[in-house]
Structure 1
Amino acid sequence: MKTDSKIYVAGHRGLVGSAIVRNLKEKGYTNIIGRSHSELDLMNQQDVRSFLKKEKPEYVFQAAAKVGGIGANSSYPADFIYENMEMQNNLIKAAHDFKVTKLLFLGSSCIYPKNCPQPIKEEYLLSGYLEPTNEGYAIAKIAGLKMCQFYKKQYGDNFISCMPTNLYGSNDNYDLNNSHVMPALIRKFHEAKVNNESVVEIWGTGKPLREFLYVDDMADACVYLMENYDGEEHVNVGTGKELTIGELAEMVKRVVGFTGELMFNGEKPDGTKRKLLDVSKLEGTGWKYKVEIEDGVRMEYEWFRENYK
């Protein structure tokens, strides 16, 4: 990409998209465009085609998605598979038809089988059964990365995909019914501290292992891949480090300053027991994460206190 190349970031107001915009601006890119949902409905095929035909972006970051935590994924699987497939199908096909120079599709580590070997290599995709609690979302993301591969194979389009681990950071979703574990914990502990509560309930047993990547590191990896990677295979993006949900809860409790007790509710689902990405492929190209998790939690909590109402 050149600094004046026209770059469209789909989902530019979301967690990942807003971080990509920040990263692009920091690197000197000056011609970045985005559209809010009210300005452009990515589920409307004709609107997407009209937008790309008129604006003619050279590069596209597909960071728009319907996302949520284990509760939302379990409750609304039809919505997750339908809405995500509609958005990505419309955008990828239009990017082909209107000759976008390069497109980066963002997936998720939930695309991998529930019980595949750890750490998870890219080639483990489609080697076993998915985790039932987020199967709808995972199937949509698998379809997206395969669509990019097939357009590259059949037509030569430079469409690439990356699969991030669990993300967190500024601009996150803190809805307790639909959010991921990190923002949910931050809000729970903050409100418990403000309200002088003595106990915070944590979903599940606290035993599952998870890997977390600060969203600005993820954005940096996306821009790096757009600048440097043209391969057909998707690329894992993460830290290669993990901790239990219980350890994460203790960390967030410490950062927030909550002094009460934790209560793990084993009647709530744990999800996949372990999900650690093998990031040797990406690190082998020269990219590596920068933000350690406790530093990232501090930054997210600072953003939360300043911005969340």
Structure 2
Amino acid sequence: MAKLNFGGHTYLVVTKALDWFSAEANAEAKGGHLVKIDSARENSAVFNFLMKESASWSKHYIAPDGGGAEYVWIGASDFAEEGQWHWADGSSLKYSKWGRAEPDDYQDQDGAAIGLEAWPKSKGNLGQAGEWNDVDVTNGLFSLIEYDGIAGGSGTDKIIGTTKADTLMGLGGNDILTGGKGKDAFVFNTKLSRKSNLDKVTDFNVKDDTIRLDDAVFKSLAPGKLSVDSFHTGSGAHDADDRIIYDSKKGALFYDADGDGAEAQIQFATLSKNLKMTGADFLVI
């Protein structure tokens, strides 16, 4: 799966036709969000990436109410309040690239999409490829997911950070993550699996780095700093409060949804051995 790395973020195309709401839900389920475009440089990078990728697509989807042109969903909408465009995270648009006559709310259009060709298709005088149009949210279109960090894909990836502060996430697959210098964050935000989603973090530094746990995956944890009682060093949970267990002899990091209850713990990462880890090394997001 091809991906775009730009400005410390990662972008992946979903080549399945979805309506806008399903596209955003799918993006969130995969640990990201529909793309949030904040600058002309980002828009250009995203558009060029989409055009390159579209050459290999076996199917192409148009928005009939968008002049019959081909589009890809982005993360802006005004369904909450007509004419007030916001990104999926609720923030307002600091940058926009609307077509000449857009957004026009034709037949109550509430979803933003980036055009891969000019529209209307017969004339092309309302918008050009790379510009945005508001189209009906029920259109089935491909979508672009943005991850707020350096991300892998669904397979086995080797992800290497920079000398700056990086956010790294393996997503699916048994990945190898190396943060490098800087205060790095390692994010775990996809469905856990002992066989197909077990990452290795090669250089976790308890002084500088942080492990971020998505509460949509680690469901027994509350957002915020991991509580002291929820962390334990050992081979397994020793009481009902333990949720994150670090086996310092093996470097194995486990999640246990019910502490010393009947539900089995599941390993989701391997770190270096004998780290002086505490609950302060974790943040639930």
The bucket for the TM-score relative to the shorter chain is: under 0.3
> What's the TM-score, normalizing by structure 1?
0.25
Greater Rg over alpha carbons, structure: 2
Quick one: higher RCO (CA 8 Å, sep 6+), 1 or 2? 1
Name whichever structure is richer in helix by fraction: 1
